[in-house]
Every structure is written in structure tokens, then in C-alpha cells.
Amino acid sequence: MPRRSVVRFPRRSSLLPIVIFSTSCPRARSVVSVARHLSEEFQQPDKLYYRESLVVSSSSSANKGMTASGRSYLSGPVMKRNPVGQAFCAASVVGVGAFCEGFVDSHLHVTEDKVGVLLLNLGGPETLNDVQPFLFNLFADPDIIRLPRLFQFLQKPLAKLISVLRAPKSKEGYASIGGGSPLRKITDEQADGIKIALKAKGLTANVYVGMRYWYPFTEEAIHQIKKDKITKLVVLPLYPQFSISTTGSSLRVLQNIFSEDAYLSRLPIAIIQSWYQREGYIKSMADLIGEELQKFAKPEEVMIFFSAHGVPLTYVEDAGDPYKDQMEECIYLIMQELKARGSYNDHTLAYQSRVGPVQWLKPYTDEVLVELGRKGVKSLLAVPVRYATRIFLFRAVNWCYSSFFQ
């Protein structure tokens, strides 16, 4: 069961409590679904590729390399083109990477190899003292703040400034949930769940956790993978939808590490780039939403409010990031599953956590929440999607609604 937070408003508010829960990463039934997907990859060794080199494009739109495949791994040589919008969504897997040619011998069996699964996630500060350096790592990433080439020397000074300015407010948020992010603990639990689920299917695999912006960093996980002498690796970013700023950034780190190491450059690797459309994930989301709806006095009257972490509009319009399309398709599939179960609730999607003066994906969460209040929505089930943890949405809902109805 997901952890829930209940936002309560002044008695004069006509709104019922809003139930918020985090379902952004595979847990419980979703872990089994992902494990099933992994088992499919392991049982098709001819689909795993020797990586002479893993090529990951820069975040600029020029000469972007991508491959699209009907399955959830990358293959074939990089294609030079500048895809925009729907071009990225030609298949369920899209992206920023490609494998060079060279198949693993199809007669190999997974039982003869030492298989590793690498889970990639955002990371988060574990103490309040970690908040500012964590934010620095986040904003120093050129896939998070994309500066023109002429001004890229300002990346770290700008990251330092932003992290110092934002740290006090961020510390307040983390203090409200115990003084740190629960993401590492949750991801470790997911790793254990995947290992157990795979073992139940007769597949033995070591599962590793690599964080992008805080400990344990991806570099630490790769060091352990080398130490364990893994012979095949499956990479699973814990972001259901692909984005340049999340999965793309994490893969770029792998590219840098693998390109500098002779052992790693020959390691057969498969990447599950996106899995938002997989049946197990969709059904798990529908299960969780259905369970929460039943806690309302009138479940059929509840507005389902999906809130996703936003990205700058230029990522989608200029760089061809498929995030918006994949997010909208994900919500559509979830609602179709709910309708198949007899739930015909109204729903809406909004984006949160914008930074700076640039345009981000709209509509914005805070504005939509206020508008729903003005329209007289009395019951709201807020569902964070993407990698957003409870802290972001809880603060957004609590601040916007409580200030509006006071």
C-alpha cells in the first residue's frame, strides 16, 4: 500500500480532504511486472548486444542520435537526424542512445552468465545538510539547465547560486517529512523486490542501485558491477516515461563511464528506456487509484488529479523530448483501464516544479488546483506520476488550496 498524506482545510472550506499518494516508481505488483519484463530480456540473449561503444547524444537538437524499437532496448547504429515531438514517439522506446553492431552469441544461456540489473534513479538528500549540495549536483547537470554553448562556463556558478537560494525553502519541505528524502530506502526496497521476483522465476541476478545526484552515485554501482564481474547487464531507469532530463541524463553518465573502460565497453547491455505503457504498470496504477477512490464517501464524484514533474517547453518543441506525449499516453491508458473496471471519474493532468523565467509544460499544478477550487470540485484524488515524491505535491496542494480557501 502506498503511503498517504491527507490535506485538511479550514472547516469553512467546502472541500473534502485530498488524498495524496506516490506511485511514481514500481512497487509491490509493479515490481513483479518489471521483473517479468526483465525475465523476457534475459531469455532472449540474441537481443543483447556487445557494446563496442554506447553513443549518447548531447542535449542539443543538432545531430541527435536515436533509435526506436518495438521492444524496450536499443539496437543498431545511431541515426543522424533531428527528431521533434511525435518523431520520438514512433515506438514505445525512444531515445538518446544506440548500440554498435555485434550480437551476443544466440546459443548462450543466461544461466551460464552472471547477470546484473542496474536501477537508475534521481537520488535525494538524506539529511538537511545534504540539501544544498544535492541541489548543486542537480542544477549543475546540463540536461537540467541547458545553457547556450557560449555560456556553458557559467553552469557551475549558476548551479551554486540557485542551490544556495533554493536550499532554505527546500529544507523546510524535507524537514516536514522527517528531515530527508525517503527515495534511497524506497529504491533499495525495489531492488530487493526485483531480485526476489526474478529468483521466483528461476533467474538469478545481482541488482544494483545508482543515483544521479546523490549517494549511492551511478559510479559507485558501476564499480561494484565490475568488482562482481557481471557478464550481462540490464539497465532499468526508474522513470516510466523517457525524458532528456531524467533517463537521458542518466544514460549520458553511463556513456561517459563505459567509454573510458575497456571491460565495460565490451559488456553486453540492454536498456529498458521507458515502460509507462506496459500492462503491469498500468494495471498497478489503476489498482492503487481504485483502492484510494473507495475511501471517499462518493467515489464516483472524485476528480482524479494527475500531477507530473514538468520540463521546459523547449525540451519538447526544440529538442524533441517525448516526455509530454508519453505522459499523456500514460494517463490515457490508466483512465482506459479504470473505465474497463467501471470507474468513469473525471480527471486532469498538470505539471509542477517549474524553475526560472522560461516557459515550462502547461498547465501548471498550482494554477489548476486553484481553478478546480473555483469550479466547485469537492473531492480530489491527487496522483503524483513520474518521479515526484510526496514532498513536492503535498506542499503544492497544501499551499495553494489552504491559501485559496482561507
Tell me phi and psi for residue 364, to 5 degrees: -85, 140
Q: Which of 43-52, 180-189, 228-237, 310-319 has the lowest mean pLDDT?
A: 43-52
Give Cα separations from 375 to 12, 14, 197 (angstroms): 17, 12, 45
Using one digit for the tens of pLDDT, what is the confidence trace for 195-249? 999 999 999 999 999 999 999 999 999 999 999 999 999 999 999 999 999 999 9
Residue 393 has pLDDT above 80, yes or no: no
pLDDT band, very low/low/confident/very high, at 269 (cuts 50, 70, 90): very high
pLDDT band, very low/low/confident/very high, at 368 (cuts 50, 70, 90): very high
The CATH number given to 4-22+277-405 is 3.40.50.1400
Q: Which of 33-42, 140-149, 251-260 has the lowest mean pLDDT?
A: 33-42
Amino acid 37: pLDDT: 57
CB atoms within 10 A of CB 282: 23
Architecture of the domain defined by 29-123+181-271:
3-Layer(aba) Sandwich (3.40)
CB atoms within 10 A of CB 192: 12
What CA–CA distance (Å, rounded) separates 332 from 339?
A: 10
Amino acid 404: pLDDT: 46
Tell me phi and psi for residue 101, to 5 degrees: -70, 160
* Global confidence as pTM: 0.76
Strand bridging mode 97-99 / 54-56: antiparallel
Amino acid 98: pLDDT: 35
Amino acid 42: pLDDT: 54
Domain ranges of the chain: 4-22+277-405, 29-123+181-271, 128-175
Amino acid 357: pLDDT: 78
Using one digit for the tens of pLDDT, what is the confidence trace for 109-161? 445 789 999 999 999 999 999 999 999 999 999 999 888 999 999 999 999 99
Amino acid 60: pLDDT: 34
Stretch (H or E) spanning 38: helix 29-42
Mean of pLDDT values over 346-363: 90
Q: Which of 180, 166, 167, 165 is nearest to 125 (CA)?
A: 180
What CA–CA distance (Å, rounded) separates 330 from 333?
A: 5
Using one digit for the tens of pLDDT, what is the confidence trace for 73-104? 232 222 222 333 333 232 223 333 333 333 23
121 within 8 A of 238, measured Cβ to Cβ: yes
- Fold equal for 4-22+277-405 and 29-123+181-271: yes
CB atoms within 10 A of CB 400: 18
